[in-house]
Structure 1
């Protein structure tokens, strides 16, 4: 059931509305969180993000507590109050919010949700939670501890038996903020000096020429050189794409599924002498983000709306030297940044995504020059979307061969799989393909 935004605005009611929209209606946090954040101050925006995303990380445990304390499930337009109570549990069990505020303000939020008649129920449930010290009574079920839906828990167990615990810990951690210094504007050393002068702590990660990691979270537009395009926010795993693609002067480049444009910008920073770069995306509103990023970073690229699986609708017939395909995927590698992903995806989605990826790959391959390079990328950690997808593609196309990115790649396991938390990076996959001349 779709419910309108709470009236009047209320921090906890708005957070409950975000959680409800994600869990009950399958909305993305990007859409519904932005809606409520527009109504609040910068400080409250951060609170809304922290609390709503925290609930999504701990959802199986919160749902378990709710089932133990609530006699009968709420129905219809009252269902949102269940999400309000889980928000209350989260504040009491996992946050720095004072118990008094966690209970009192959460109870008061029932009014903004049009559920003042349930005020007594919410109060009783939260008081029982406190009195029974439920926050100390956590489940021994490993899936509940991992905070994952059953299908994903099972899949990760099967794919990564040895690394499973490290993966789930990384998925439930708060991701660090990576910056990519725009080398066309300023060197990394110069920008590091600017951060030091501004009193902002950072670390320099290994194996990245343009990257810095902020030690503490901060207001990004307030960082030195934001408006001048000195840097972009981009995770370390995503920063590998431009180097793996290896653009050269005078080449024509296609950046496919390009929004929001992080990799587009990095390609142009790494090699400003390309002949042309087309940034393609099917979503017009997301292409607007690419345009904004190109303008701030002062880069020039051709932007076009188009379906990557239908080149006949947007391709001019000239073959590309290099193609970056950042393919649609389950995004299971970036769950630490987007906790809603674990509840928005289901097992059936994976088969559909694998089919779509294969369709796009087969459609793009004829647009690549003989001797050209296609870099396949996903932010997934599921083999079906990654190594298995690449293995099947090479078997279908006699003129395709893998150009190894690492020494550990094999015919059965092509490409580089980065796991969440590895060198502080998101989960990501890359495979580089060469087209025979």
Structure 2
């Protein structure tokens, strides 16, 4: 059994090696945190997230400093060196401490034969400073395919997107309107010495000046407020909820949007929240219980309607589809290591399939909100355009909002270092008569 009190940089190197092998930080980090002292866990998280955020730049520098790549069974030392380079370039820790602790970590990892090489590489990095970036992938610290795809999709915005992805996201709250209004909660925060401001687009959103543990938020345990990005909060404003409606939240975990809907419209007749992963349902239930809300939770593939649908149509559907998560890279920097270019086409097939299947469960006159946390048009407005061409009962709703960019088939929010994540929304209504739709120019020209 592994020593539960590993040095923090050893645990970080092991967690990053797991990411290199295909695990997400959400999977590898909790295992690593269990193996360090409790007081070291915040530092471990910061090292893992920071190294992932700058991985491509750090890896480029390390590749230029190593005489030859490390052997496969020594890759954990490669990760150890990346952690040390991250600290040299981005932390306030003394250089001598970084070098000494990294050399010592080689021995803890049973790699003492590499200690001299590690020491030499880091001393050179300390002495020479950060080298010129050899490629745009290194300069922007993103995989090359992602840089090129963003440049092609967003010729006027790609550099801003890349910069936003490398920033640290603000902490944003959603006030529970059933308990307290936003102005009063802002006053509550001020009285507790917490600096915050109202969000610009989400009516119940608050952005904190500095992140803090949820335990410090007044009223959190009693359900007065939840943590949710501003872009994700906008789904409730687009659903046009009203008392008596039957609502489906497809792909619902971790349940933030389910809870937001119930908070905004207490008179809903029924809310069904589906997620394919049964292990994620307890998280939804936990959020519902804290907020004093109720929904029916189902573990099912939302697209396999024959397995779970009872034949009663929904008045409202929120379809927040599985996606590349390219709009939330600043919160999940390991996406840059895990995502592959070929994933986008595969995800697009899943997204269109879900839309086609769930459309049949929407009542005539009902409204479906299609959402992603992606910035790639292939997952966003192009899906909507394809669906509209094949579905005569579908009509695109022109959104009377000021946020986001008009794509011609939905609104695209790009990640903003000072505000929201990257998100896409499109609203579709199921026509009663099945006549050909008139969506083409509802929202202007496409991209």
Which of 116, 129, 143 is 1:120 aligned to? 116
Which of 412, 416, 421 is 1:421 aligned to? 416
CA distance in 1, matches of 2:182, 2:5: 46
Give the 3-state SS of the residue equivalent to 2:108 in structure 1.
coil
Q: How far off its partner does 1:43 sit?
A: 4.7
How is 1:369-384 mapped onto 2 (pairs within 5 angstroms)? 369-384=363-378
Give the 3-state SS of the residue equivalent to 1:208 in structure 2.
coil
Q: Any unmatched runs of 5+ in structure 1?
A: none
How is 1:148-159 mapped onto 2 (pairs within 5 angstroms)? 148-159=142-153
Give the TM-score taking structure 2 as reference length: 0.93
Give the 3-state SS of the residue equivalent to 2:415 in structure 1.
coil
CA distance in 2, matches of 1:155, 1:128: 35
- Sort the Cα spacing of 1:140 and 1:121 in 2 relative to 1 into closer, same or farther, 3 A: closer
8 Å CA contact 1:61–1:138 kept in 2: the answer is: no
Which of 328, 335, 344 is 1:334 aligned to? 328
CA distance in 2, matches of 1:264, 1:41: 36
Is 1:65 matched up with 2:83?
no
CA distance in 1, matches of 2:373, 2:260: 17
8 Å CA contact 2:405–2:413 kept in 1: the answer is: no
Q: Deviations over 1:320-370 (max 9, x none)?
A: 001000000000000000000111111111111000111111111111100
Which of 108, 129, 154 is 1:134 aligned to? 129
Q: How far off its partner does 1:35 sit?
A: 1.4
How is 1:385-424 mapped onto 2 (pairs within 5 angstroms)? 385-406=379-400, 413-421=408-416, 424=419
Give the 3-state SS of the residue equivalent to 2:274 in structure 1.
strand
Q: Deviations over 1:54-92 (max 9, x none)?
A: 111212221122122211211232111011011111111
Report what 2:443 is aligned to: none
CA distance in 2, matches of 1:406, 1:418: 15
CA distance in 2, matches of 1:399, 1:201: 48
Q: Any unmatched runs of 5+ in structure 2?
A: 433-447
Is 1:311 matched up with 2:308?
no
Task: Compare 153-162 and 94-103 and name the one that shifted more.
Answer: 94-103
Q: Deviations over 1:4-60 (max 9, x none)?
A: 96775110011111111112x111010101211234456522211221111112122
Is 1:84 matched up with 2:80?
yes
Is 1:36 matched up with 2:43?
no
- Sort the Cα spacing of 1:209 and 1:108 in 2 relative to 1 into closer, same or farther, 3 A: same
How is 1:191-230 mapped onto 2 (pairs within 5 angstroms)? 191-230=185-224
Give the TM-score taking structure 1 as reference length: 0.95
Give the 3-state SS of the residue equivalent to 2:178 in structure 1.
coil
CA distance in 1, matches of 2:394, 2:5: 59
Report what 2:439 is aligned to: none
Report what 2:291 is aligned to: 297
Task: Compare 111-120 and 39-48 and name the one that shifted more.
Answer: 39-48
8 Å CA contact 2:133–2:139 kept in 1: the answer is: yes
Report what 2:435 is aligned to: none
Which of 19, 22, 25 is 1:22 aligned to? 19
CA distance in 2, matches of 1:351, 1:205: 34
Which of 427, 431, 434 is 1:436 aligned to? 431
RMSD: 1.8
